[in-house]
Amino acid sequence: MQIGVPRESAAGETRVAVTPETAKKLVAQGHALLIESGAGVSASAIDEAYVAAGAQIVDRAAALGAELVLKVKSPNAEELGLMKSGAALVGMLNPFDRPGLEALAGAGLTSFALEAAPRTTRAQSMDVLSSQANIAGYKAVMIAADKYQRFFPMLMTAAGTVKAARVVVLGVGVAGLQAIATAKRLGAVIEASDVRPSVKEQVESLGAKFIDVSYDTEEEKEAAQGSGGYAKPMPPSWLERQKVEVAKRVAQADIVITTALIPGRAAPVLVTEEMVKSMKPGSVIVDIAAPAGGNCPLTEAGTTVVKHGVTLVGETNLAALVAADASALYARNVLDFLKLVLPKDGGFQVPMDDDIVAACLMTQGGTVKRS
Ligand code: NAD
C-alpha cells in the first residue's frame, strides 16, 4: 500500500508521524513510503535517513495524495484539498472536534483518531495520550527549572545553604506522574493532588506527598472512581475542600505544575487568582492544561506571562518541544495501530469487532461514526 507522510503544517508542530526507524519496518512489510521532503527535519530526521530506510522523498501533493496518510495533527483545509476521497487517515484528530470530524467525513476519508483508543493493556503500545503526556510532564518541569531563578535541589555550600524547591503537582495522570518523577530527580520536595484516590500510592512510590482530601458523601465517592480510568467532574462540596488544601500548599510552593483534565470538557480551575497572589515573587506555574482552558484563569494559552510576580507558562504543545523523542514514541504508537488495519496479506481493513479499531474510527463512507 502507498503510505504518505506529509510535513506537519500547524504552527509549532515539530513532530512527524513516521521516523526512519518505523519507515524501515513499514517498507519491510512491503509498503511504498512517500515522505514529503523535510517532513522529519524539525524532529532531527533528515530526508537521507528516510531514503536509507527505503522510503521515497516526494512533494507535498504526492505525500497527501497517498492511499493511507499518517499525520500528527488533523489536516487543515489545504491538506484536505490534496487528499483523495476514499483514502485512509491516521493521526491525533481530536475526537471532540465535531466540525473537524465533519470536514474529514466531507472529504470522504476513513479516519482514525488515536486519542480515542481505550485505556486497556492491549492498547498501551498505541496509546498516544500517554506517550505524549509523559513527555509533556517532563518538559513542564524542565521549563519550570529554566524560568525559576533558584536551585531545585537543596545545597550546602561554603557560601551558605540553599533550600530545596517546593513543587506542587495538581492532577496526577501520566503527565503528573512524570512531572513528579522529573522534579524528584532534580531534588525538589513535592506534594500532589488528584481527584482519584487510587493515585495516592503511585505518588508516594515516587517519593512525593499526596494531598489528602476526604470523600464524605456517596456522590463524592462515586465521582472519584471516574470512568474508564478518566476523571469525572467532582461535586462542588469536594472541590471546595480540595481548594482549601491546595491553597495552603500553593502559597508555600515555588513551582506549581497543573495537569488536571476531564476529557471533552474545559479544564477545572484549581489555582485561582487569589492563590497566585499568595505565591512568592519568582514562583513559576506551568499549566499543562492550557490547551483546554487552563487550570489557572491567569494562564494565557500559547504564551508565558508574569502576573502578581509569578511566571505563568501556557505552552500548548509541550511534547513538540521534545520533537525527536516525541516523534519516536508517536511513530511507534502509529506503527502498532497499523498492525490492526493493515493485514499481512495486503490491502486495508476496518475490523469493527476489534475494540481499538472501533473506538478510533471517526469517519467512514462520508459520515462521522462517533456518537
Ligand atoms: P488526564 O490527562 O485525562 O487528566 C490528568 C489528571 O487530572 C487525571 O489523573 C485526573 O484524575 C486529574 N484531574 C481531573 N480533575 C481534577 C481535579 N479537579 N483535581 C485534581 N486532579 C484532577 O489523565 P491521563 O494521564 O490521560 O490518565 C487518565 C487515567 O488513565 C489514569 O488513571 C491513568 O493511569 C490511566 N491510564 C491507563 C492506561 C492503560 O491502562 N493502558 C494507559 C494510560 C493511562
Q: What is the pLDDT of residues 147-205, one digit of tens each?
A: 999 999 999 999 999 999 999 999 999 999 999 999 999 999 999 999 988 899 999 99
Task: Give the pLDDT confidence score for residue 343 in this predicted structure.
Answer: 86
Q: Which residue has the higher pLDDT, 219 or 156?
A: 156
C-alpha cell at 174: 501520566
Catalytic residue among 42, 74, 111, 130: 130
Atom of ligand 1 nearest to the CA of 233: 15
Q: What is the 3-state secondary structure (H, E, C) of 192-205?
A: EECCCHHHHHHHHH
Percent of the chain with pLDDT over 70: 100
Kindly report each contact of residues 44-52 with a partner whose C-beta sits within 8 Å and lies 24 or more positions away, as own/partner. Answer: 44/323, 44/324, 45/16, 45/19, 45/20, 45/324, 45/327, 49/20, 50/20, 50/23, 52/20
Q: Is residue 315 in contact with ligand 1, taking CB distance under 6 Å?
A: no
Query: Three cell numbers at 27?
Result: 517498507
Which of left, alpha, beta for 226 (phi over 0: left; psi -120 to 50: alpha)?
left
Query: Can you tell me the distance from the alpha carbon of 147 to that of 315, in angstroms, rounded to the nearest whole number?
Result: 13
Please indicate whether residue 170, judged by its CB atom, sits closer than 6 Å to ligand 1. Answer: yes
Task: Tally Cβ neighbours within 10 Å of residue 230.
Answer: 14
User: Which atom of ligand 1 has the smallest separation from the CA of 130?
Assistant: 43
Q: How many CB atoms lie within 10 A of CB 339?
A: 12
Give 363 or 265, the one with higher predicted confidence.
363
8 A C-beta contact, residue 340 and residue 356: yes
Q: What is the pLDDT of residue 222?
A: 87
Element (DSSP H or E) covering residue 70: strand 68-73
CATH of domain 2-116+323-365: 3.40.50.720
Q: Per-residue pLDDT tens for 124-152?
A: 999 999 999 999 999 999 999 999 999 99
Q: Where are the alpha helices (DSSP H) in the chain?
A: 20-28, 47-52, 60-64, 77-82, 98-106, 128-147, 174-185, 200-205, 218-224, 236-252, 273-278, 323-341, 355-360
How wide is the angle at C-alpha 136 spanned by C-alphas 135 and 137, nearest 5°?
90
Q: In the prediction, which pLDDT does 123 show?
A: 97
- Decide if domain 130-316 falls under CATH 3.40.50.720: yes
The predicted pLDDT at position 105 comes to 98
Q: Are 208 and 191 spatial neighbours (Cβ–Cβ below 8 Å)? A: yes
pLDDT digits (tens, 9 = 90+) for 28-61: 999 999 999 999 999 999 999 999 999 999 999 9
Verify whether residue 127 is a known catalytic residue. Answer: yes
Dist. CA 274 → ligand 1 center (Å) = 26
Alpha-carbon distance 123 to 129, whole Å? 11
Domains of the chain, residue spans: 2-116+323-365, 130-316
Asked if domains 2-116+323-365 and 130-316 share a fold, the reply is yes
Strand partners, 91: 113
Structure confidence by residue, pLDDT tens digits, 314-368: 999 999 999 999 999 999 999 999 999 998 877 899 999 999 999 999 999 999 9
> Considering the chain, what is the average pLDDT of its residues?
96
Is the ipTM value over 0.90, yes or no? Answer: yes
In tens, the pLDDT along 304-321 reads 999 999 999 999 999 999
**Residue 234, ligand 1, Cβ within 6 A:** yes
What is the pLDDT, as a whole number, of residue 299? 98
